[in-house]
Amino acid sequence: MANLWLDLAYGSDKGLVIPGTPSRYAADLRLSVDGVHVEKAGNDVSLPWTETGRSWHLGSYVRGRKTVDRAGMPSTPSGGVINAGLYARGDYANRMAPIFVALRAGRRRLPFTDPFKRGIGASYVVPLYARRNDTLISKDAWSIWNLCLLLTQRPELQLRLGEPLRVQKLLDDLKQHQLPVVRVHLGVRTESVEIRAAMRRANILHPLGGRPVPGDVLVDRDEAVAKIVDRMRTISHSKGAAVSSKHVEEILDAEYLNVERWPFSAILSGSDSP
C-alpha cells in the first residue's frame, strides 16, 4: 500500500526509525532503548519511557480543527481523523520548541487546510504523518502507540530495540498486519450491556488496545462462560433473569477469543510470558 506512515520506516542499531511524511511538514520518530526521540533538522528531543501516557502520547489529529487533548488519554482514531502526531504536555511541550521552529522554518504553502493554526497552537501536537485523505494512517498510529505502551509496561523489552535484525522483523510484521482499532461495544440490549460488564468484572478482556499480546494465555471458553454467568448473577438488573449462554458465547468469541493478536512477536521472542 502506498503513502502509509511506516512505508519509509527502518530498523537500525539506534532503534525503530519512522521518518516524518512528508518530510517538509513532519518530524521523524525513533523508538530507542532510552526512550522515544522526536527529530527534525538536527534537533533531537528525547522522551523517556517512564513518561509514556503521562507527558506524551501518540495519536491522530483532525486537519483544520482544534483537537481536544485529555491528560492520560490517547487520541483514538475515528471518522475524519487522518493524521498521526505526538502530543506533549507540561515541560515536554516546552522542550518541543526547537522542533516546532524547525517545522515552521521549512514550511511553504501547505497543500491542505493548515493543521498548525489550531492543532499545534492549542494542543502541542507534533505532526509525524501529514498527508491528505489517508485514513489508513490510523492503523499505523494505533499499532505504534500500543507498542509504546507495551515497551513501557515491560522495561526488559526496551533493550531489544538496540538489535537491528529484531527491529526489522518487528517492522515487517507491523507492515503486514495493519490492524484496525478495536472499538468498545456498549450494546443496545440490556443483556449485552450486562454481559460486557460481567466480562470486565471477571477480567476477561484485553487491556492493551483491545487485543491480546503474543504469549498471552486466554481463559478457556467454558471457564470464561461460567465466570461471566456467575458474575451476572451479582448484577442487580440480572438477578433472577435467565442468561442465554449462546449470547454470552457470541460476545466472548467476537470480543475476546477470536481477536487477532498484536504483531509484536519479534520484540517478545525469547522473553518469558507475562
Encode pLDDT of 238-248 as tens digits: 554 567 788 99
- Cis amide linkage into residue 22, ω under 30° from 0: yes
pLDDT tens, residue by residue, 160-178 = 999 999 999 999 999 999 8
Share of the chain above pLDDT 90, in %: 46
pLDDT tens, residue by residue, 188-225 = 667 788 888 899 999 999 999 999 999 999 999 999 99
Query: Residues 30, 14: contact at Cβ < 8 Å?
Result: yes
Range list of β-strands (E), the chain: 10-12, 15-18, 28-32, 35-40, 43-47, 56-61, 83-88, 125-129
CA 130 – CA 63 distance, rounded (Å)? 9
CA 102 – CA 27 distance, rounded (Å)? 9
Burial label, 190 (beta-carbon count in 10 A; 0-12, 13-18, 19+): exposed
Burial label, 159 (beta-carbon count in 10 A; 0-12, 13-18, 19+): exposed
pLDDT tens, residue by residue, 47-78 = 999 999 988 988 776 554 444 444 444 443 33
Query: Residues 256, 206: contact at Cβ < 8 Å?
Result: yes
- C-alpha cell belonging to residue 237: 438488573
Residue-averaged pLDDT of the chain: 80
Query: Residues 131, 60: contact at Cβ < 8 Å?
Result: no
- C-alpha cell belonging to residue 97: 520548541
